[in-house]
Amino acid sequence: MAGETYRVESAETTELWSGERADFWSEHVTSYHCRLDYRFVQPGGFRGGTIRQCTDSYQIVDFWSDEIRYVRTPGQVRQDPDEDYRFLVPAQGELVVRQDDQEARLTPGSGALFALGEPFELRHDSSTRAFIMTIPAREIDDPLNRTSPLAAGLDLTTGLGHVVNAMVTGLSHEQDRITGPHFDAVCERIVELLCMLAVGDDRPDVPGHLAEVESLVRRYVRRHAADPELTGATMAQDLGWSLRQVQLALQQAGTTPRDLIREERLRLVKQRLRNPAYQYMSIADLAYASGFSSASALSTAFRRRYGQCPRDVRYEGDR
């Protein structure tokens, strides 16, 4: 399992002789990412450090160093392909990212998502410290329906962006107190929220965007179906969208927030009725534990959906 390989690794150039530091930094950063050109302002005595958290699925590197410019050339893209994305989150100082004729100047409270599958340039001064997260390409390309590089300033000071920022920095603060599965779970959520943030809320009626909203809404409802307080409004608020946007996305798929929530709760109940671990739980307790207001509400909805009552399904599973 990927989570079992969770590692935290630290490195600093101050442990080396000053003449070795630039070469070490070049090899060190390349081992975490891919082939790059390193343009040191003062290679002699260069100072830098990293703290890396990673599993087989995700990587977050907290890094700081003297002034430097990183360049990914077209030749390096061809010779050492890397299609994965990087999410850059400054903690202090300023970084400048250039890619695909776009430039993003990043300071604390902003972020950028860019691809290493195309040439780019990244530079910063000696006051900078930042996090850089590696995200598999499919987790960005599929939800956002794009395969081109993206270099854009993202607002991480309010709303959904602030939540994403807090999750990235929170993983760093808790690096020695979390497990691999926890790290992967939080990273998965960061990627989902980052996709929402990158898409924004300014295209509520675009079919491709609505399909993405629908997909993320379904995943959210499946995870939170047992919450008795779950509604279309609370779901939209947590996801950072308007209720109208959620309704439009589900309407395109032929359902509503209420119907989707009920369907997922019924699926959960049916699954639990057939699970020996729940065989001693009463139907009433099972109803409450699965988000229904009462046993009668569950029985009515269950019979309409499956044509039989919950007890019959449990009985079938015992025969």
Whether residue 262 sits in one domain with residue 168 = no
> Do 257 and 193 belong to one domain?
no
Query: Does 302 lie in the same domain as 182?
Result: no
**Residues 176, 122 contacting (CB under 8 angstroms):** no
26, pLDDT greater than 80:
yes
Res 102: pLDDT: 79
Buried b (16+ CB within 10 A) or exposed e, 194-229: bbbbbbeeeebeeeebbebbbbbbbebbeebbbeee
CATH code of 229's domain: 1.10.10.60
Residue 2 is predicted with a pLDDT of: 39
Q: Note down the domain range covering 235.
A: 209-318
Tell whether 204 is covered by a domain.
no
Judgement on whether residues 245 and 311 belong to the same structural domain of the protein: yes
What sign has the CA pseudo-torsion 127, 131, 137, 138? Answer: negative
- Residue 237 CA to residue 231 CA, distance in Å, equals 10
**Do 14 and 163 belong to one domain?**
yes
Q: Which pLDDT score, from 0 to 100, does residue 116 have?
A: 86
Digit-coded pLDDT (tens) for 84-135: 999 999 999 999 998 877 788 899 999 998 888 889 999 999 999 999 999 9
Average pLDDT of the residues in 287-313: 92
Which tops the pLDDT comparison, 269 or 138? Answer: 269
Quick one: pLDDT at residue 201? 43
Q: Which tokens belong to 122?
A: 């990244």
Distance separating the N- and C-terminal Cα atoms of the chain: 35
Region 48-53: mean pLDDT is 98
**Are 124 and 163 contained in the same domain?**
yes
Statement to judge: residues 186 and 229 lie in one domain: no
152 part of a folded domain: yes
CATH number of residue 11's parent domain: 2.60.120.10
Domain boundary at 199, 232, 248, which? 199
| Together in a domain, 113 and 188 | yes
Q: Is residue 39 assigned to a domain?
A: yes
Is 77 in the same domain as 10? yes
Q: Kindly report which listed range (33-47, 232-246, 273-287) carries the lowest average pLDDT score.
A: 232-246
Say if 248 falls within a structural domain: yes
**Residue 193 falls inside a structural domain:** yes
Of 181, 199, 217, at which residue does a domain stop? 199
Domain boundary among 164, 199, 234: 199
Report which of residues 192 and 38 the model is more confident about. Answer: 38
Lowest mean pLDDT of 166-175, 238-247, 281-290, name the range.
Answer: 238-247
pLDDT for position 1: 36
Q: Say how far apart CA 137 and CA 175 lie, in whole Å.
A: 24
Q: Are 219 and 190 found together in one domain?
A: no
Q: Which of 190, 143, 138 is nearest to 168 (CA)?
A: 190
Q: How many domains does the chain have?
A: 2
- Are 67 and 188 within one domain? yes
Least confident of 3-12, 38-47, 57-66: 3-12
Instruction: Write out pLDDT tens, residues 205-224.
Output: 444 556 777 888 888 999 99
pLDDT tens column, 248-265: 888 878 899 999 999 999
Residue-wise pLDDT for 137-170, tens only, equals: 888 876 665 555 555 678 899 888 899 999 999 9
Which pTM does this prediction carry? 0.64
pLDDT at 186 over 90: yes
Q: Tell me, what's the pLDDT at 206?
A: 40
The per-residue pLDDT for 152 is 64
Are residues 103 and 157 both part of a single domain?
Answer: yes
